[in-house]
Amino acid sequence: MPHAPQHADVATAELDSVLRGGPFHVALRAAIAARGLPLQRVQHHLSRHGVKVGVTSLSYWQQGARRPQRPESLRAVRALEEILELPEESLIRLLAGSGEGPAGQRSAARSYRSLVEASGVLDQLLAELDCPPDGGLHTLGHHERLRIGARRELAERESHHIVRAHRTASTASWPSTTATGEPHRSA
């Protein structure tokens, strides 16, 4: 296989890069992939180090859905550094330097209003359009699909906001804002 060493070099360079800059979940995923270990084997190695972590937790950690923060979880991260043959403190440092709130934990979700209320732009727009502050709508669901580019930039965003009217509206459209906060009308 003439391409295998070159592929290994690329994987190693990518791993080195994410270990320096993070985020934690990307570095963990790259390290596990670089060692070619399925999560069940990682869990087995952790148990040999006296650390019990479920495969689901490992999966959440490498997806960025959860972050290790309890003392036992941080012990697991230190063991992962050894198991995955990473430099000491490389993953722990990414957890500590995340800047995502207390104990490195980011908020699971932010309300729509919290995203726009600081500037007052939404309230001003609704007043100008003579709309009630909640638009007469209840949010039933909000689903987003993001595509991240090769340089970790937002390449595409698709957003579906599912609502139910709780008031009779005089119009068939409601004001909404884009991710950048620029108003537009949706019908």
Q: Are residues 119 and 88 part of one domain?
A: no
Q: Are residues 51 and 141 part of one domain?
A: no
Q: What are the distances in angstroms from CA 61 to CA 1, 57, 106, 116? A: 33, 6, 13, 30
Q: Are residues 145 and 70 part of one domain?
A: no
Q: Are residues 12 and 48 part of one domain?
A: yes
Q: Which of 54, 70, 104 is the endpoint of a domain?
A: 104
Q: Are residues 31 and 83 part of one domain?
A: yes
Q: Are residues 117 and 45 part of one domain?
A: no
Residue 81: the pLDDT is 94
The H or E element containing residue 186 is: strand 183-186
Contacts 24+ apart (CB under 8 A), 138-145: 138/163, 138/164, 138/165, 138/166, 139/112, 139/163, 140/164, 142/112
pLDDT digits 0-9 by tens, 108-150: 444 555 554 545 666 676 677 776 666 667 777 777 888 888 8
Q: Are residues 89 and 19 part of one domain?
A: yes
Three-class secondary structure of residue 159 per DSSP: strand
Distance from C-alpha of 133 to C-alpha of 15, rounded to nearest angstrom: 48
**What's this model's pTM, rounded to 2 decimal places?**
0.50
pLDDT digits 0-9 by tens, 8-24: 555 677 788 888 888 89
Q: What's the domain count of the chain? A: 2
Q: Which domain holds residue 173?
A: 112-186
Residues present in the chain in total: 187
For CA atoms 14, 15, 16, 17, the dihedral sign is: positive
